[in-house]
Structure 1
Amino acid sequence: MATSERTRRETTSSRVYDILRQDLLNGRFEAGEKLAISALKDHYGVGLSPLREALNRLAAYGLLIQENQRGFRVPTMAREELEDIAGMRRELEGMALEWAIGRGDAEWESELLAAAHRLKRTDLAAGQVDEWEQLHARFHRTLVAPCGSVWLLRFIEQLHDQFDRYRRLAPEAPDVRRILDAQHEELVELALKRNTRAARAVMEDHVQRSYEVALQGFAELG
C-alpha cells in the first residue's frame, strides 16, 4: 500500500473513530445492540477497511464488544459496573489531582482558569449541550493534566467515557447541577491555593454526586 493511501485510510479511520465514539457516548445506539456493518458504512460514508479499524479501536478501548472476530455489539449496562466505574474514578482522579497540584506550574494555573471560565460561560439550559460536554471534559482533563503519569491519565479518560454512557441517560437534576457547577469553581480555587487534602475531598464528593444522578437515570431505565 502506498504511503499516501495508508495515511488517507488512517485519517479516515480516526475521523470515524471520533464520530462513532461520540455517538456511543450520546446513546445513539442501544445498550446490547448489535451493530450492522453495512448500515454503519452508509451512515458514516466510509469504506469497510477504515470502518473496521475504528471499530477494532473502540472494542480495545471498551466502548464496543467484538464477537467472533467479526461482529460488534454495544456493551450492556449494569448497576454493578456503574458502581465500579464511580469508585475507580474517585480513587484515580483523587490521586491524579493530588499529584497535579504538587507538580502544576503557572502555565497550568492559567490553563485551568481559562478552562473553568469557558465552562462557566456555557449554558446547558440554553441548549448548548454538545459544547458544554466538550468543555466539561476539557476542564477535568486540564485539572489533572500535570499529574506526571501518562497511564493514569489514560485510565481516567477511559473511566470518564464509560461513566458518561450512564450519566448522559440521567434525568435533569438542576439542584444537583448547581452544586456540581459550584464544585468546579471550588476545585480551581483549592488547586490554586495548593490545598491538596481539601481539593481531593471535593473531587471525591463531586464524583459521588454525579454517580447518584447517573444511578437514578439507570434505575428509571429499568
Structure 2
Amino acid sequence: MGVPQRKESATTASRVFDAMRHDLVNGRFAAGEKVAINGLKEQYQVGLSPLREALNRLAAYGLLVQENQRGFRVPRLDRHELDDVAGMRRELEGMALERAILKGDAEWESELLAAAHRLKRADLSPTQVDEWERLHARFHSTLVAPCGSVWLLRFIDQLHDQFDRYRRMAPGVPAVRKILDEQHGQLVELALERDVKAARALLEDHIDRSYEVALGSCK
C-alpha cells in the first residue's frame, strides 16, 4: 500500500509543479504575492503533501521564494536579476547554438523547419497566446537541441522560464515583436547554411531585443 501511495503522491506533485510553473511564468500570480496554501489546494485540486512537494521544487527551480516559517512568495521583478538572466541566456544559448549547428543532422533540419513553420502560422491573439508561447518555446528548444549537452539544455530551459516571467508581465511592443518574428526565420536560414558566427550574432541580438521588451515589467 505504501509504495503505490508514494508514487501517486509524486505523480500528483509533478502535475501541480507543471501547472504552477506554467501559471507563474505566464504572470497568473502577481510579483511579490504570498501564495496561500489553502487557496492553492482548492485551485489545483490537490492535497497538502503533494502541494508542499511541488512548492519546494518550484522554490528550488527559482520560480518561488521560500520564507522561513512564512510559506512561499512569488519573486519580485528585479532589474538586476533580469540583466543577469538575459546575460546568461546570451552566453549559454549562443554556445548551444554553435554546437547545434556543428552537430545537427538532416533530421534536425527538418524538425527546425517544421517548428518555424508552425510558429509562423500561429495566432498571437489574446485568446491564443498560450498556444503561441508553447510553439515559441518549442522553436527555441529545437534550435539548440543537438548541442550534445543535457545539462546545458536544462539550464537554458530554466533561464527561458525566468526570462519569460518578465517578458509576459511587460507591455507588448508590436514593432519589436515584428522584428523578433522575422528573426526566427533568419535564424533558421543561418542554421541551415551552417553559418555559426552569423547565427550566434543574430541570436544574441534577438535576446537583446526581447530583453528591451521585458524591461517594461520592471518599470
* Normalised-by-shorter TM-score class: over 0.9
Residue 206 of structure 1 is matched in structure 2 by 206
Inter-partner Cα distance in structure 2 for 1:48 and 1:97: 41
Residue 176 of structure 1 is matched in structure 2 by 176
Aligned length: 219
Q: Partner of 1:163: helix, strand, or coil?
A: helix
User: What is the CA distance between 1:119 and its match in structure 2?
Assistant: 0.6
How does the TM-score come out when normalised to structure 1? 0.95
Do the aligned partners of residues 69 and 104 (structure 1) sit closer, same or farther apart at CA in structure 2, a change above 3 Å counting? farther
Output one character per residue of 1:98-146: Cα deviation in whole Å (capped at 9) or x when no partner: 0000111111111111111111110203731000000100110110011
1:159 corresponds to 2:159: yes
Q: What are the within-5 Å matches in structure 2 for residues 105-144 of structure 1?
A: 105-125=105-125, 127-144=127-144
Q: Partner of 2:66: helix, strand, or coil?
A: strand
Tell me which amino acid in the other structure corresponds to 2:93.
E
User: What is the CA distance between 1:218 and its match in structure 2?
Assistant: 2.3
Q: Partner of 1:156: helix, strand, or coil?
A: helix
- Pick which of 5-14 and 89-98 moved more: 5-14
Cα RMSD, aligned residues only: 1.3
Runs of 4+ in 1 over 6 A off after TM superposition: none
Q: Partner of 1:72: helix, strand, or coil?
A: strand
Do the aligned partners of residues 20 and 126 (structure 1) sit closer, same or farther apart at CA in structure 2, a change above 3 Å counting? closer
Q: Percent identity?
A: 74
- Whether the 8 Å CA contact 2:65–2:73 is kept in 1: the answer is yes
Tell me which amino acid in the other structure corresponds to 1:55.
L
Residue 25 of structure 1 is matched in structure 2 by 25
Residue 44 of structure 1 is matched in structure 2 by 44
Tell me which amino acid in the other structure corresponds to 2:165.
R
Q: Partner of 1:66: helix, strand, or coil?
A: strand
User: What is the CA distance between 1:216 and its match in structure 2?
Assistant: 2.5
Q: Partner of 2:184: helix, strand, or coil?
A: helix
Tell me which amino acid in the other structure corresponds to 2:10.
E
User: What is the CA distance between 1:195 and its match in structure 2?
Assistant: 0.4
Residue 55 of structure 1 is matched in structure 2 by 55
Inter-partner Cα distance in structure 1 for 2:211 and 2:70: 34
Inter-partner Cα distance in structure 2 for 1:145 and 1:159: 15
Residue 93 of structure 1 is matched in structure 2 by 93
Output one character per residue of 1:22-52: Cα deviation in whole Å (capped at 9) or x when no partner: 1111112121111111111111110001101
User: What is the CA distance between 1:69 and its match in structure 2?
Assistant: 5.8
Inter-partner Cα distance in structure 1 for 2:22 and 2:156: 17
User: What is the CA distance between 1:68 and its match in structure 2?
Assistant: 1.8
How does the TM-score come out when normalised to structure 2? 0.96
